[in-house]
Structure formats: C-alpha cells, structure tokens
Amino acid sequence: MANDRPTLFTGAGGILGKWLRPRLIETYGALRSTDIVDFGPALPGEEIIIADLADAAAVDRLVEGAGRIIHFGGISYETSFDQILSSNILGTYNVYEAARRFGAGPIVYASSNHAIGFYTRDDRLDANVRTRPDSLYGVSKAFGEDLASLYYDKYGVESACLRIGTARLDPIDPRHLSTWHSYEDLLRLIEACFNAPRLGCTILYGVSNNDRSWWSNAAAPNVDYRPQDNAESFKDVVIPDGDTRDMEDPAVKYQGGPFVAADYVRRKA
C-alpha cells in the first residue's frame, strides 16, 4: 500500500515546511523532506534530500518509493517568469509525472488564493469558480490545479489542491481577517484530505473559520475539514479603529491584495 511508504514533503525548508515537519512525522511517521536549500539536520523519523524540483531525474529519486505527497515546494511570491517556470510549472509537472510512473500519491498540492485573486472582496467563492490569477505566480498555481485535474482524469492520481489564504501564526492586517489560515487548521486540512475516503481531484480553500471569509468549501463535501480558529478573535489588535482602508485601492478591492496591486495599470472602463 502506498500509505505504508514514507510521505514525501517538498518545500520542507520553507516557512510552512519548518512548522509542519514535526507535526507530519507525528501523524504519518517516516517523512522524506526535500528543498532546494539546506534547512538543517533531519528530525528523528526524517530523511532529508536536497534537490531542485526542476530536475526531473532528481524528482524521480524523491518520488520513487514514496506514498503520500505534500507538494509545497516552489516560488511563493511574484518574480520573473523564468523562475516561476522552472520551480512552479516544471517542478510541479515533474512531481505529478513521477507520481504517475511510480504509483505514488495521493498528492496534497499547495495552490494559492492568488489563483483567484482578481475576484473582488464582495465576491463569495466556492471551488466551482473559474480561476482569475492575479500574478504569474497565481497563473502557475492555476496551472498546478489543471495539471492535478488532468492527472486524475487520465491516470487516476488523486489530489487535493489547497487554495491557501494567508497561513501564518497570527493575522496582522485587515485582509487577513478574511484570508487567515492558522497553522493548526492547515494541518487539519491536510489530514482531512488524506482521510477522505475518495479524494478524486478536489479544490479546497485553505482558510480558518473566519467570520469574514470570502470562501466556502461546500463544493467539497468529500473532505471533512472542520477549521477551529477564527481571525475575528484578533480584530481588536488588527483594526483597533475599525477598517479605515480605501476600498477602491486595488490591494483592498480585490481578494489577491498586494499581488493584484503590483504593476496594476488597468484603465477604468
């Protein structure tokens, strides 16, 4: 059974990776952690392999013998297309293609809210909306979601694509009151995906139980995700004088926030 094999965790040296590693070992046992950068010594139960996801042969070595895959590796911000192409587009392709050939999976893939960042803060979204990326980074995440869809429909590789909002310890700006995903809830979501009796290819929003959330997981009833945290408990710290932002500022008007605003030069219709 694939699930008796080590869990492969890409992006293990990143911000979320560092928090998740010990918790994943607790839950799933043997962890094969990888990143392009050195991220220190292995934890008990962990094997570390430094590799570039753009290197197909290296990714084959990562995936061979692995069971579950948590694919969080890649560029997590807006940058040149060359870098996005290499780490996110080619890198994600290499992971899916190796998973198909080696019979690994299911895959939990870190997509992003930036795949749907051009919806406005008045829009309410479920998993059925079309993507509206707000950056080349967001386009690469939409590509990953489509790749997951192809690899399920054509080859039966099961995936969950997590449109993660803002995963961080605490919310610190007004947008986070809608987008915050606590670390504990992120772990709950990953676990719920792997526990799903039938994962298929499911898109989920990575978000806590925030009063001001824009996103619903109602279209993914096969995954029993029950978030426990709510950004509203931080409201008095985050907006002590109420929400005083300019609602027409693209960084406020659109769900993708600062990713929308960067280089935004669209003329008014």
Ligand X SMILES: NC(=O)c1ccc[n+]([C@@H]2O[C@H](COP(=O)([O-])OP(=O)(O)OC[C@H]3O[C@@H](n4cnc5c(N)ncnc54)[C@H](O)[C@@H]3O)[C@@H](O)[C@H]2O)c1
Q: How far is residue 204's CA from residue 223's CA, in Å, rounded to a whole number?
A: 9
Q: How far is residue 73's CA from residue 75's CA, in Å, rounded to a whole number?
A: 7
Distinct helix (H) and strand (E) counts, the chain: 10, 9
Rg of the Cα atoms in the chain: 18
Query: For residue 86, what is the DSSP state?
Result: I
Of the candidate residues 63, 104, 160, 164, the single one contacting ligand X (CB under 6 A) = 164
256 lies in the binding site for ligand X (CB under 6 A): no
The stretch near ligand X (CB under 6 A) out of 110-118, 194-202, 207-215, 261-269 is 110-118
Q: How far is residue 103's CA from residue 152's CA, in Å, rounded to a whole number?
A: 12
Of the candidate residues 8, 24, 31, 36, the single one contacting ligand X (CB under 6 A) = 36
173 lies in the binding site for ligand X (CB under 6 A): no
Judged by phi (left if over 0) then psi (alpha if -120 to 50, else beta), residue 108 lies in: beta
- Active site (annotated) includes residue 155: no
Query: For residue 132, what is the DSSP state?
Result: -
Of the candidate residues 6, 14, 171, 174, the single one contacting ligand X (CB under 6 A) = 14
Q: How far is residue 183's CA from residue 16's CA, in Å, rounded to a whole number?
A: 8
Of the candidate residues 2, 22, 23, 52, the single one contacting ligand X (CB under 6 A) = 52
Residue whose CB is less far from ligand X, 47 or 153: 47
Of the candidate residues 7, 87, 94, 230, the single one contacting ligand X (CB under 6 A) = 87
232 lies in the binding site for ligand X (CB under 6 A): no
**Residues labelled as active-site residues:** 137
Residues that bind ligand X (CB under 6 A): 11, 13-17, 35-37, 52-54, 72-76, 87, 91, 110, 112-113, 164, 166-167
